[in-house]
């Protein structure tokens, strides 16, 4: 399976040798309620999340055609919870080993630790009280960044419209899963 960090071999339709920029609309495509819709740089829908029940501990990330790519589950442990991301594999789900596990960081308040299926560590670093953050690797290199989307004139398009920038050779489908988890943590998805 393709790993998140930039040294990964390109073996997935969800990776590119170029930096990719996406627009994330923090609304459901179908009902314009809970969920998110991700557009590529050509304005085409690439991913979507429909969350019909905000109290649910499970959401699915789908492609444009409704094929489930990931299932995200929240597991409540004591006071805090962890989020588990499972990559869909045909008709069965690989539940034995999640693709990623996200938990509150013990290093800095508001940040989250991510461990992929190979136990590689990444962090989601919050740098804005609203919804701006970076995903960095163990070396501190930025893997992906989310920030409010601005027009060419520098006008912010709204709190629910974001720009997602993903480095080359990074599995952007997994990055979208991490953006979704962060949205769930913030209560926006």
pLDDT tens digit sequence for 142-156: 999 999 998 889 898
User: Sorting pLDDT into bands at 50, 70 and 90, what band is 34?
Assistant: confident
Looking at the domain that runs over 16-186, which CATH code has it been given? 2.40.160.200
pLDDT at 77: 67
Measuring CA to CA, how many Å separate 121 from each of 4, 17, 89? 10, 22, 23
CA angle 180/80/94 to nearest 5° reads: 50
Q: For residues 77 and 70, what is the distance between their CA atoms, to the nearest angstrom?
A: 22
pTM summary value: 0.85
Tell me the per-residue pLDDT of 171-189, one tens digit each, with 9 for 90 and over: 999 999 999 998 888 878 7
Q: How far is CA 174 from CA 1, 55, 153, 186, 189, in A?
A: 11, 23, 31, 18, 16
């Amino acid at each position: 399976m393709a790993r998140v960090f930039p040294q990964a071999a390109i073996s997935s339709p969800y990776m590119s040798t170029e930096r990719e920029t996406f627009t994330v609309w923090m609304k459901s495509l179908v009902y314009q309620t809970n969920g998110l819709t991700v557009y590529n740089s050509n304005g085409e829908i690439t991913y979507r999340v429909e969350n019909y029940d905000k109290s649910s501990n499970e959401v699915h990330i789908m492609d444009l055609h409704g094929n489930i790519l990931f299932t995200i589950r929240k597991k409540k442990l004591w006071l805090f919870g962890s989020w588990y991301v499972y990559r869909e594999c045909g008709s069965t789900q690989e539940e034995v080993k999640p693709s990623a596990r996200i938990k509150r960081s013990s290093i800095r308040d508001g940040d989250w630790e991510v461990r992929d299926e190979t136990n590689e560590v990444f962090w989601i670093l919050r740098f804005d009280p609203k919804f701006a953050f970076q995903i960095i690797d163990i070396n501190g290199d930025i893997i992906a960044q989310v920030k409010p989307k601005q027009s060419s004139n520098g006008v912010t398009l709204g709190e629910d419209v974001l720009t997602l920038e993903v480095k080359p050779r990074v599995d952007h489908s997994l990055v979208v899963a991490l953006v979704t988890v962060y949205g769930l943590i913030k209560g926006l998805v």
